Chains A and B, each alone.
Chain A
């Protein structure tokens, strides 16, 4: 079920009302059933995969806790192999086969292709697999008691707001919340709805409006000029941010309505002044997952500079691969790893002195520079192949036919000047909200305003979302992962 669909507009209030109506001891069951319905809206059969991983990890958690020594490790390894196995089959098998076939074709002509599997990737597989793995790892590390209640554990994996695109939660944050009794709290409920409304605005008003430009360009980049290419590249930077952070906001908001706090997944990433800062602000739940379960176990920054940089590269290449079985994602991850290593080296020569104004200008320059490099990396993320990404970089760099004016760019995408102004206005609004969020929580900021200002703001957001949004069942980009 998509958050921006009619089904969800019916599903969410019904589930929430029932949630507050039923007795506390049955709420886990209600949420579990609701989550099953939510997931079954995509491909019902794939709920079986979820069920199998839930059974394996639930059992593994209990066994890991019960056993001592090598057996504990064995159960952890079995659980991880099972989880990674599902990922390998559904997500990476065909990628592996394609590359193997290509490699051996190059070696000798008589190579018979290994067969491909005709499987559809279950929605959100990478997300719930990582969430399941964090449970068994935390139990193994004795930082989490194994969950004895099968239903509550199943709900931890399947909880509908974050089931298909995160945030990837930790058991310490989630499991206990399903047991806590939540009553109707006016402020919490309305704050949750406000977060949802802003998330919906980001998705249907900003992301999906920009998607029109981005899709046209990436479908046939050869038809566009340099200026048009740069415009589409910038549009995608904002599209993916609004699409994914919009999803996270709706997840966080809808969960907050029911009294369950999810972790923050984005913190104004395009206001970052360095790459390390960017990764503390972008998809926080995934980057912290890789930090805790890959980077630190590999030695983190404790084994010298070379190992530190090597570990960074490993983490980012894996992170790229996590996003998708395509070399474009690997290059995207590799680029970010490279940027981090490079900035790590140059950071040592950093000069911190300077006047206030100079600092501000330098800070603004850094923000622009990070946005520039992040946008370049997004080209690989969005392209269908590495070759296409190079081609697009060539066009953007001036290889394409040069646009004579901005007017031609607008014509190329069939955008009227009024529509262009509208796109600029909504992106500026996004940046404005992000700037406010740097200092204070936006919901608290709005709550502190006079009644008329507050309500005008609510009406405007809802009005623009309904009448200026793109409502055509557009999927969220991160669903494919």
Chain B
């Protein structure tokens, strides 16, 4: 008995500092629904139409988007990165048939992978594809093979998220950014939703609460961060003169599979804020691939009788810097304008949109960023 007591005492002395160190972050993560597996998060996303999904310490986007598509079987799908996330369900004639899988793709190759995961019987009839310009820059993506099965898996690990984020959470606790009390009032899942009101809505689109409420504290306020990236040629703004032909081949393969499966595709090159694209053009040698991109992707779209639109620069369409969330993410209003523009160029889109409805929405926009 004496030996057990001695052991317990010493083990406590050894373990106690770690329990204290890990206990607070664990509590914060637990109380704010950060310790939910991707499967659980996806279930909430599909089950609760008011939930805002915004974990700060894990990234369930790929798993959640893929599995929501498989679960909801939307007729109209938006595919791409965060730069398609502002296509909203209320733009469409039948909002319930739309799902925005923006954030489920981060390069050109996963388009094909994601399509292959969708069974024929539950495939969409039409897909809006956001072709981020940097997908076609070899410096950003050299198209080496990737383990997509692993990337789209539920690789949540409670230990990993607690241990890996321990010091960051302590830092945020001590700096007052978060506190011990639960921040998930209402249907906010995760600290990014709870604290910043950022997160995915039921239709898969993204709500930038922090940007709406406190634009001055945003990292990219006045596009400071984007300009810095351009000056350094980093983080999606790498310099390149030529369009990566391997990426064009990969896009062509995706389009051919869509054509073979009878899925209609509308592609678009998403917009940059006016002053951002101006700055990039001023360094034309560094971003020559962007200037040539539309003409490089168009033949593939033409080959399969699909349409592609170039919204890289929307200054001519009456869009201004103030309509952007940040340097390369347009707001609801920008994307609404894009849809109106697309309908004007291609009447086949009238099957999905009501032009008058779009115009009314635009005219009655709540502010420079939000439509409703």
Contact = CB atoms under 8 A, between A and B. Distances in A.
A475 to B, nearest CB: 12
B18 A472 contact: no
A52 to B, nearest CB: 32
Centre residue among B147, B159, B166 by max chain A CB count within 10 A: B159
B145 A467 contact: no
A40 B309 CA distance: 54
Given A184-B4, A189-B7, A467 B167 contact: yes
A6 interface: yes
Interface in B151-209: 155, 157-160, 163-164, 166-167
B214 interface: no
A186 interface: yes
Interface in A461-477: 462-463, 466-467, 469-473
A20 B17 CA distance: 26
Contact of A223 (B6, B10, B144, B160): B144
A466 B159 CA distance: 9
A219 B145 contact: yes
A41 to B, nearest CB: 15
B3 A185 contact: yes
A471 B144 CA distance: 26
Size category of the binding interface on chain B: 20 to 34
Given A219-B147, A223-B144, A459-B14, A6 B159 contact: yes
Centre residue among A5, A184, A185, A466 by max chain B CB count within 10 A: A466
A219 B17 CA distance: 40
A6 B22 contact: no
A361 interface: no
A466 B18 contact: yes
Given A219-B147, A472-B157, A467 B7 contact: no
Contacts of A215: 147
B163 A469 contact: yes
A392 to B, nearest CB: 15
Contact of B142 (A6, A186, A223, A467): A223
Interface in A441-476: 455, 458-459, 462-463, 466-467, 469-473
A466 B22 contact: yes
Contact of A471 (B3, B7, B159): B159
A184 to B, nearest CB: 5
A467 B164 CA distance: 6
A422 to B, nearest CB: 15
Nearest to A465: B163
A471 B160 contact: yes
B159 A5 contact: yes
A473 B157 contact: yes
A467 B163 contact: yes
A361 B10 CA distance: 45
A184 B18 contact: no
Contacts of B146: 219
Contact of A462 (B18, B160, B166): B18
A184 B3 CA distance: 7
Contacts of A472: 155, 157, 160
Nearest to A193: B11
Contact of B3 (A186, A462, A469, A473): A186
A9 B159 CA distance: 10
A189 B144 CA distance: 49
A190 interface: yes
A458 B167 contact: no
A220 interface: yes
Contacts of B14: 455, 458-459, 462
Interface in A211-241: 215, 219-220, 223
A215 to B, nearest CB: 8
Centre residue among A190, A463, A467 by max chain B CB count within 10 A: A467
Contacts of A5: 159
A394 B310 CA distance: 45
B6 A186 contact: yes
B144 A190 contact: no
Contact of B166 (A190, A220, A459, A467): A467
Contacts of B155: 472-473
Nearest to B14: A458
A219 B148 CA distance: 12
Nearest to A4: B159
Interface string B124-160: 0000000000000000001011110000000101111
A466 B167 CA distance: 12
Contacts of B164: 471
B142 A190 contact: no
A186 B7 contact: yes
B282 to A, nearest CB: 29
A322 to B, nearest CB: 27
A223 B18 CA distance: 42
Interface in B74-101: none
Interface in A54-106: none
Nearest to B162: A471
A473 B159 CA distance: 9
A1 B4 CA distance: 28
Contacts of B159: 5-6, 9, 471
A223 B159 CA distance: 33
A114 B3 CA distance: 63
A80 B350 CA distance: 72
Centre residue among B6, B10, B17, B163 by max chain A CB count within 10 A: B163
27 contacts: A6-B157, A184-B4, A185-B3, A186-B3, A186-B6, A189-B7, A190-B7, A219-B146, A219-B147, A220-B144, A220-B145, A223-B142, A223-B144, A455-B14, A459-B14, A462-B18, A463-B18, A466-B18, A469-B163, A470-B160, A471-B157, A471-B159, A471-B164, A472-B155, A473-B155, A473-B157, A473-B160
Given A190-B7, A220-B144, A466-B18, 17 more contacts: A5-B159, A6-B157, A6-B158, A6-B159, A9-B159, A185-B3, A190-B10, A220-B145, A462-B18, A467-B166, A469-B163, A471-B159, A471-B160, A471-B163, A471-B164, A473-B155, A473-B160
Interface of A: 5-6, 9, 20, 184-186, 189-190, 215, 219-220, 223, 455, 458-459, 462-463, 466-467, 469-473
Closest 7 CB pairs of A and B: A471-B160, A186-B3, A471-B159, A220-B145, A472-B157, A472-B160, A223-B144
Interface of B: 3-4, 6-7, 10, 14, 17-18, 22, 142, 144-147, 155, 157-160, 163-164, 166-167
